[in-house]
Amino acid sequence: MTTTTAVTLADATREVGVEIDRQFDRLLTVPDDPRADLYRAMRHAAIGGGKRLRPLLTFATANLFGVDRSCTARAATAIECIHVYSLVHDDLPAMDDDDLRRGKPTVHKAFDEATAILAGDCLHALAFELLTHPDTHPDPFVRCELVADLARASGPSGMAGGQMMDLRAASASFDIATVTRLQAMKTGALISCAVEAGAILGRLPVEGRTSLRGYARDLGLAFQIADDILDVEGDEAAVGKALHKDADAGKETFLSLLGLERAKEQAAMLVEQAIAHLHAFGAEADLLRQIARFVLERDR
Amino acid sequence: MTTTTAVTLADATREVGVEIDRQFDRLLTVPDDPRADLYRAMRHAAIGGGKRLRPLLTFATANLFGVDRSCTARAATAIECIHVYSLVHDDLPAMDDDDLRRGKPTVHKAFDEATAILAGDCLHALAFELLTHPDTHPDPFVRCELVADLARASGPSGMAGGQMMDLRAASASFDIATVTRLQAMKTGALISCAVEAGAILGRLPVEGRTSLRGYARDLGLAFQIADDILDVEGDEAAVGKALHKDADAGKETFLSLLGLERAKEQAAMLVEQAIAHLHAFGAEADLLRQIARFVLERDR
């Protein structure tokens, strides 16, 4: 049973990874003009790396409602566009100043800062262009809802707002409530959006989304606690980026506030809670359950 | 007649300026949390400055079709969000490295680089969030078309792609065709989008938009030639930003390629051509005609 389950998640991860790379490859054909480096920089950031956690969540959720896979692939790629753009901008010298990402030089190292800023901006715009195309969903109401949800999740009340709080974290002494809010915005909002997109594509009415939203919220927090633990216990080569940055910067994290043991317990409890939200679903939600468990076990 | 006309454009410019400031003020309430500086930075960039050319074009076009003013205001503000975000990012040290914008310190000077990057990203996301709200238009098809058009105009085939070409302009020797394409992308695409948004809100079918598109294209080029001329002949205090930057960087511009006299003739011809595209419209298009003439006469 465990073996079958593990294979299923591994298969889904591989399939989704191939599909997202295929979408980016199609979207980002390098033009024969002075914008060539801009496209090369987007490809460098977007293709062939990452866990593709958010696309995987969109596929796993959309699958509950039998959504067409090519529609799901477009929506999932749009969300990954936003995730990738945020990594490119967060890695800039003025922000987190990182040289390594997904085991490769960051975009401003491989190219230059101006190209990195513009590559991020372009991936940001492409996300919305992708969602508005009729191939993403025949009903403009659905496309519009996807755009609204993604714009909210990535803006000042979501991801970018959370990053701003994170920049302030080094000079402030945030308590556990503030760190929870920061992380719910910085990483949670886009993870929730990835699940929500599957529900939107599946035309699940808003009042039916409570349990999936609960799942996404708990999963997002568990993911972030696991990330904090990886930052302390992880292996840089496996994770593919610089570690121990939060402690070095004097930022409060779940780990610094709870300690390692309680942080691990808290993450495990959140994963169980996330899975419990799926009680109304049968075996069709097994992939979502496996993703939740994977969040605890991952080494990158 | 001339006096009446001048008053009308001046009135419209003032009214649109007040309305756009009001919209930004409403959208950008400073929260009492660690994101306060992020919102202050967005307000610094967005409120109380600029010619508001793009919003003015959206209002003037939407007015041809009797569009509700509050819908137009939201769409126009979304387009101005994108314009403002592009100024914030273009001014960064890694890009054009400007200290002055609209007579005030640029965002990274008044705040810091990280805040400027994030403020730009947030304005980018807010543009799309604004467009998807049902208050912008009751029909999701119209909202979706607005988002699609703005995403295309601002991404790698539009504004951001043009900025990338512009960054390469200093080390290349672009001919007039390449400079025209660069400018059609860098500034023309968003100016065209501002006109198109008025037509979309007015539910003008695509096949009816040819003349308005012609107007916008010619206006955009005339605007850029006038900008090149201002860069050489303008007064820094009136323009509110550093001038003579293109020549100092060794970039080819319309001016360097055509010379001052021919550049002025070309701009005047494009303005006449833009106005000629409006022949099917009566007095209701006078504001669009006045905007086109203003482009030649502006001193900032």
pLDDT digits (tens, 9 = 90+) for A76-111: 999 999 999 999 999 999 999 999 998 899 999 999
Quickly state the pLDDT bin for A4 (edges 50, 70, 90): very low
**Residue A225 domain boundaries:** 2-297
pLDDT reported for residue A7: 52
Give per-residue pLDDT as tens, A142-196. 999 999 999 999 999 999 999 999 999 888 889 999 999 999 999 999 999 999 9
Quickly state the pLDDT bin for B86 (edges 50, 70, 90): very high
Separation between Cα atoms, residue A72 and residue A16, nearest integer Å: 10
Percent of chain B exceeding pLDDT 70 equals: 97
Separation between Cα atoms, residue B280 and residue A206, nearest integer Å: 46
Query: Hey, what are A299's tokens?
Result: 């080494």
Look at the alpha carbons of A73, A76, A82, A87 in this order and tell me if their dihedral is positive or negative. Answer: negative
Contact list, B144 vs chain A (CB under 8 Å): 132, 140, 143-144, 147
Reported as type and span, the H/E element at residue B28 is none
Query: Hey, what are A8's tokens?
Result: 């299923």
Rounded to a whole number of angstroms, the distance from the CA of B82 to the nearest CA of chain A is 10
Verify whether the Cβ–Cβ distance B89 to A125 is below 8 Å. no
Provide φ and ψ at A100, rounded to 5°: -130, 135
- Contact status, residue A252 vs residue A179, Cβ threshold 8 Å: yes
Position with higher pLDDT, A228 vs A89:
A89
- Contact status, residue B55 vs residue B45, Cβ threshold 8 Å: no
Verify whether the Cβ–Cβ distance B38 to A164 is below 8 Å. yes
Verify whether the Cβ–Cβ distance A128 to B128 is below 8 Å. yes
Position with higher pLDDT, A152 vs A2:
A152
Contact list, B33 vs chain A (CB under 8 Å): 165
Provide φ and ψ at A34, rounded to 5°: -65, 0
User: For chain B, what is the domain count?
Assistant: 1
Position with higher pLDDT, B241 vs B2:
B241
Residue A2 confidence (pLDDT) above 90: no
pLDDT reported for residue A211: 97
Verify whether the Cβ–Cβ distance A38 to B156 is below 8 Å. yes
Quickly state the pLDDT bin for B250 (edges 50, 70, 90): confident
pLDDT reported for residue B249: 78
Mean pLDDT of B106-134: 98
Quickly state the pLDDT bin for A5 (edges 50, 70, 90): very low
pLDDT reported for residue B4: 43
Contact list, B109 vs chain A (CB under 8 Å): none
Residue A119 confidence (pLDDT) above 70: yes
Q: What is the CATH number of the domain that holds A266?
A: 1.10.600.10
Query: Hey, what are A248's tokens?
Result: 């070095």
- Contact status, residue A202 vs residue A66, Cβ threshold 8 Å: yes
Verify whether the Cβ–Cβ distance B144 to A144 is below 8 Å. yes
Partners of A101 in beta bridges: A104
Query: Which among A33, A34, A129 has CB closest to B155?
Result: A129
Query: Hey, what are B145's tokens?
Result: 């078309």
**Mean pLDDT estimate for chain A:** 93
Query: Number of residue pairs across A and B with CB atoms under 8 Å?
Result: 161
Query: Hey, what are B200's tokens?
Result: 């979309």
Separation between Cα atoms, residue A232 and residue A266, nearest integer Å: 16
Mean pLDDT of A26-36: 96
Q: Which of A164-168, B6-10, B121-125, B207-211 has the highest mean pLDDT?
A: B121-125
- Contact status, residue B132 vs residue B147, Cβ threshold 8 Å: yes
- Contact status, residue B27 vs residue B126, Cβ threshold 8 Å: yes
